[in-house]
Chains A and B, each alone.
Chain A
Amino acid sequence: MAKLELTQSLTGHKGIVWNVSWHPLGNIFASCGEDKTIKLWHKEGEEWKVKAVLVDGHQRTIREVAWSPCGNLLASASFDATTAIWDKKSGQFECNATLEGHENEVKSVAWSPSGHLLATCGRDKSVWVWEVAGDDEYECAAVLNAHNQDVKKVAWHPSLDILASASYDNNVKMYKEDPNDNDWTCIATLQSHESTVWSLAFDKTGERLATCSDDNTVKIWKEYKPDNQEGVAMADRDAVWKCVCTLSGYHTRCIYDIAWCHKTGLIATACGDDIIRIFKETVDSDPNAPTFDLVSTKLDAHAQDVNCVKWNPTGNKELLSCSDDGSIKVWKLEE
């Protein structure tokens, strides 16, 4: 049995901490929350300490922060209906661009693997794709209205410009740009969850997706391409996504976040029952009906709901979590 060992508990935010995000190098991370600030943390010796506090970028709660793949830019999504882009060209982190267009709360923001595209989504049921047009310039490339409720999360495929979104309407959608007319369209709807889908995470290949929901389950989806050996039918599409595994009976409340480590393959979940759980695919797992073992359960990981979990991108089994209780915790999985 693996064990999640607490390395450090960090306080400093006032109120709910909604999200944490690792810098691509894994030596810095950003956090954000109800107090409308972004904090940047780095390691001094063995201790994580605040390196910078970014204020005055947003008028309301900051829901999510995301580093660009190059690590030079930080995007922040806020309930104030804007997304801010921060950089440190001047030596210090400053907000040099603000993306406006959503009618109300922006819930999520994500950079494409190339760093040329940015996606945002929100309460107004839409998903926006933004193109990085130049220095501090962003152009809206698409407004996607495929969902019919609040959109909670956006995430990009790890290597292709394919976007996935999760919604209060219980569905997950995928989008791609049509090379013929440069129009972004919905290419798949993943239907199976029975309540709000809060988060989603691709595996390292991008051929599988993990989703988590208010229905207390985690689902694993697999992509089937045309002429697949398994004989999964295509209806005039590039690919279909099928739910190949449902992890039920493990979580007792809403699951707010899920993280799939691209180095170790480990899956972590953040749950409203204050628990962090770690799952690992079994060795003899069938690709078309995979099985996952619960390898670690950290009871009372936080004093309140766990909102977010993130694996260190270097694959060192370091995990970040944050909570309604106002704290951020750094963990290490010992196997």
Chain B
Amino acid sequence: MAKVADNINPLIYEKRSEREVTSTDRDEDVADDFDEREIFDMIRNINDPEHPLTLEDLRVVEEGNIIINNKENSVHVRFTPTIPHCSMATLIGLSIRVQLLRALPSRFKVTVTVSEGSHASEHAVNKQLADKERVAAALENNNLVQIINQCISTALAG
């Protein structure tokens, strides 16, 4: 039995253009801190768990919802589920978290939350995603890790 997606017919948005390489990017003498666009590029191609579409296509993640502070080693990503009762919200947040944990240096503190007002259980989802002990326990669940790996497998391919 195929599970019916929570949101059967989601809106699909236009993709952002590729990042343009600037002259300072090639300059070895210029310190090259992480920026919002770079974080966005790490997560934009994560697959939605239910649709053959990326989180960017569905506008679940947007560059404008990412805050990075290199000095304080903090990254905050807010994501927007396509519908307020999305049962996949925790899984999507977990995929974003896992992708950033793997892609960023360990000095970064990653916070992933749902955008304010975008989900019915916003507080519960945020609390669960912030609890590193529960995240660590979830990541020892092989079935769950397989699903997450499928979601993020194409994340850096785009």
Interface residues of A (CB under 8 A from B): 16, 34, 60-61, 63, 79, 104-105, 107, 123, 150, 152, 168, 195-196, 214, 253-254, 272, 303-305, 324-325
Contacts and interface: CB of A to CB of B under 8 A. Distances in A.
Given A105-B137, A168-B127, A214-B130, 15 more contacts: A16-B136, A34-B136, A60-B140, A79-B136, A79-B137, A150-B134, A152-B133, A168-B131, A196-B131, A214-B131, A253-B109, A272-B109, A303-B106, A305-B132, A324-B106
A304 B130 CA distance: 15
A325 B106 contact: yes
A302 B145 CA distance: 28
A194 to B, nearest CB: 11
B3 interface: no
A168 B109 CA distance: 21
A304 B106 CA distance: 7
Nearest to A254: B130
25 contacts: A16-B136, A34-B136, A60-B137, A60-B140, A61-B136, A61-B140, A79-B140, A104-B137, A105-B137, A123-B134, A150-B134, A152-B133, A168-B127, A195-B127, A196-B131, A214-B131, A253-B109, A254-B130, A272-B132, A303-B106, A304-B106, A305-B132, A324-B106, A324-B132, A325-B106
Given A272-B109, A303-B106, A107 B127 contact: no
A167 to B, nearest CB: 12
Nearest to B111: A253
A34 B137 CA distance: 10
Given A150-B134, A303-B106, A305-B132, A196 B127 contact: yes
Contacts of B134: 123, 150
B107 interface: yes
Interface in B33-89: none
Interface in B123-144: 127, 130-134, 136-137, 140
B127 A303 contact: no
B132 A303 contact: no
A61 B140 CA distance: 8
A303 B136 contact: no
Most buried by A among B106, B109, B133, B134: B133
Nearest to A16: B136
Contacts of B107: 303-304
Contacts of B137: 60-61, 79, 104-105, 123
A287 B140 CA distance: 46
A78 to B, nearest CB: 10
Contacts of B133: 63, 107, 152
Contacts of B106: 303-304, 324-325
Contacts of A34: 136
